[in-house]
A = this chain, B = another copy of it.
């Protein structure tokens, strides 16, 4: 293995993200309990999000717009101004949340930085991801930040060209098999899966991954013996 660059997913790999969406979803559900069951509210919201994904992309602003749209449907067009205001406030709360680093992330970056170029490869709103990286205090570990509108093979190929490396010189570390692992293996890179306890249903895949360039670990610090012994 002749790895030059280690790319980290950000949300739910470096810091907490999905639980904040779940918190907000719970608050959203509790606003409309008189109209529908929690299950049906969640379903309506998810369907609205997925319908809008190609237009809005990932991130909190699109999520907020989808919450408002879903709320209009949930209330059969009787959405109160107070509820609309509350949804806008929920979105702003999410944007303003402090960044909570996941366990051992900083030690892992510290240990790897002398040996590899480290980059962040994430999707979501541009400004929001930049702000989180700044708030995280981790920015100085990274050589480059790539914010992608979609984490597919084409985006990883672009990243590789940009970094001026071969696919097999990249290791991607992340929590989403669909976004962080499969497209990277597909283009010839290495990938390490660090599962997180909460995953958005849209990121879930059914299949098991088996590939010679693939590894799965339970906690992020387990990448160290693997990546440092091969260095």
User: A residues bordering B, Cβ < 8 Å?
Assistant: 55-57, 61-62, 64-65, 68-69, 72, 75, 77-79, 81-82, 84-85, 88, 91-92, 95-96, 125-128, 130, 147-150
In the assembly, what is the distance between CA of A96 and CA of B95, in Å?
25
Residue of B nearest to A91 (CB): B65
Most chain B CB atoms below 10 A, which of A57, A72, A127, A128: A127
Residues of B within 8 A of A130 (CB): 149
Residues of B within 8 A of A126 (CB): 57, 125-126, 147-149
Most chain B CB atoms below 10 A, which of A128, A130, A149: A149
List 25 interface pairs A-B (beta carbons < 8 Å), by A numbering. A55-B92, A55-B95, A56-B61, A57-B126, A57-B128, A61-B61, A61-B62, A61-B125, A64-B65, A65-B88, A65-B91, A68-B68, A68-B84, A68-B88, A69-B88, A72-B84, A77-B81, A77-B85, A79-B84, A125-B125, A126-B126, A126-B147, A126-B148, A126-B149, A127-B150
In the assembly, what is the distance between CA of A81 and CA of B77, in Å?
6
**7 closest cross-chain pairs (CB), A and B:** A57-B127, A61-B61, A127-B149, A79-B81, A126-B126, A77-B81, A126-B149
In the assembly, what is the distance between CA of A79 and CA of B72, in Å?
13
A220 CB to nearest chain B CB (Å): 27
In the assembly, what is the distance between CA of A52 and CA of B153, in Å?
34
In the assembly, what is the distance between CA of A209 and CA of B16, in Å?
46
In the assembly, what is the distance between CA of A82 and CA of B84, in Å?
12
Residues of B within 8 A of A69 (CB): 88
In the assembly, what is the distance between CA of A57 and CA of B64, in Å?
15
Residues of B within 8 A of A147 (CB): 126
Residues of B within 8 A of A149 (CB): 126-127, 130
Residue of B nearest to A123 (CB): B126
A10 CB to nearest chain B CB (Å): 14
Residues of B within 8 A of A56 (CB): 61, 95, 127
Residues of B within 8 A of A72 (CB): 81, 84-85, 88
Residues of B within 8 A of A96 (CB): 55
Residues of B within 8 A of A78 (CB): 81
Residue of B nearest to A84 (CB): B84
